[in-house]
Chain A
Amino acid sequence: QVQLVQSGAEVKKPGASVKVSCKAPGYTFTNYGISWVRQAPGQGLEWMGWISDYNGNTNYAQKFQGRVTMTTDTTTSTAYMELRSLRSDDTAVYYCARGSKYQELYYFDYWGQGTLVTVSS
């Protein structure tokens, strides 16, 4: 059974960093890629970037370049998303979602349960 299991909610102060994990038991991790998508309260979905679990290639949305890093640990089938220099408008639910291992342009067939990141002083 395919699952994406994310780490728990975080509360951070402005200027801090957050690192969210996404563990993927139930399928061959390196056969896919992981995208990260966020959703601000009451808002729509925003794609942040992608990492290939196959070869580690990444592609970040321009808005987040320089502030986000996506990594994977194939030994534990876990993907990570670190966002730095947090601002209040980074408050959102962050989702990992499974896609293609070859490219970031793909649909997402399984999603994690989401991780709420709250940025507040």
Chain B
Amino acid sequence: GAGVSQSPRYKVTKRGQDVALRCDPISGHVSLYWYRQALGQGPEFLTYFNYEAQQDKSGLPNDRFSAERPEGSISTLTIQRTEQRDSAMYRCASSLPGQPNEQFFGPGTRLTVL
């Protein structure tokens, strides 16, 4: 079946602009996660949802970052007033209920803030 999909795959924006990154999880996966990955490092947790409820947002760097999953399926990660330090690969993952350690990752969105 289809895996986790993310869009856009690449996003170039100017400093100060808002961006919205989209994640479409695997059908039937109630848990959805957002990570950020810098070059040469492992993914860094940002936030996660069970269904539409945001369970943990402790990894969001500051209040410019927010995420939602209003219908328990597609999720959007929004970064307001982007800064150059926000440039990174943003990855989404999903998992089946009860299997949080086996997450399926999407291809990521490469964000570049000029």
B partners with A: no
